[in-house]
Amino acid sequence: MASSAVANSIGSIDRSMVEQIVRQVALEYLGRGKNGTAPVLTVHTSARHMHVCREDMDVLFGPGSDLTFDRPLFQEGNFAAKEAVTIVGPRSRLISNLRILGPMRKQSQVELAFTDAIMLGFDKIPIRISGDIAGTPGAVIIGPKGVVELKEGVIRAGIHVHMNPAEAAYFGVAKGDKMKLRIGGLAGLTFNNVVVRIDPTSRLNVHMDTDEANACGLHLTKDIELFK
Ligand SMILES: [Zn+2]
């Protein structure tokens, strides 16, 4: 009994030491010093928005037109544009002032919360990671210079976390893994399927949509924890 207890305790010390070292390396890489503090987590709410491709931009805003920078987003290089469009759903209901986020992408895509989709008359829209739009519903998009009929591209973006490789090492996760996000406070809840997205240019940042943010009362608390 005694020797087994000793062996177990040595085993757990080894594991925690290894974890400590991995964290230390990751933190040093991050340049956050040696005090063992976790990388700073920010959680942002993405309101409904659209990404446009060059071809659709030409139709909606005129040939050769460009997105106008309005304000930067947390992830380097991404921005909210001044341009907005109107989306028409399957039962001719519409939402105007749908903001476009830049830069332009290879494919146009509309990201809605479920509440938006219901308002527009969609029976259901799939939960996808941005860019994965094959087989998703389409919509009619109206811009100041023309109208585009998207054959596909309407999704609810699944809740996800952006991080760089050092932050992924800190958490011990890989691209596509699912993490948990616990939100404290009066309306608190835990999200169980926060998809990991890794890019060298990323900063640790969870994106949820307005339905998710309202459900968990994100604005009511700073008690937030991301874990495997
Ligand atoms: Zn995101």
CA 160 / ligand 1 centre spacing (Å): 6
CA 208 / ligand 1 centre spacing (Å): 8
- 150-173 b/e with 16+ CB inside 10 Å = b? bebbbbbbbbbbbbbebbbbbbeb
CA 204 / ligand 1 centre spacing (Å): 10
CA 2 / ligand 1 centre spacing (Å): 51
CA 62 / ligand 1 centre spacing (Å): 28
Q: How far is CA 166 from CA 28, 172, 180, 199, 223, in A?
A: 9, 10, 19, 10, 24
CA 14 / ligand 1 centre spacing (Å): 36
d(CA 202, CA 110): 22
CA 120 / ligand 1 centre spacing (Å): 23
CA 198 / ligand 1 centre spacing (Å): 11
CA 31 / ligand 1 centre spacing (Å): 24
d(CA 83, CA 52): 11
pLDDT tens, per residue, the chain with 228 residues: 334 443 444 444 455 555 555 555 554 445 443 445 678 999 999 999 999 999 999 999 999 999 999 999 999 899 999 999 999 999 999 999 999 999 999 999 999 999 999 999 999 899 999 999 999 999 999 999 999 999 999 999 999 999 999 999 999 999 999 999 999 999 999 999 999 999 999 999 999 999 999 999 999 999 999 999
CA 10 / ligand 1 centre spacing (Å): 41
CA 71 / ligand 1 centre spacing (Å): 16
d(CA 46, CA 191): 16
pTM: 0.82
Provide the sign of the torsion angle of the four alpha carbons 213, 217, 219, 221, taken in this order. Answer: negative
Q: List, in sequence order, every residue forming a beta bridge with 157; answer none if it has no partner.
A: 128
In sequence order, the 6+-apart residues with CB closer than 8 A to the CB of 218 are 43, 45, 183, 208, 212
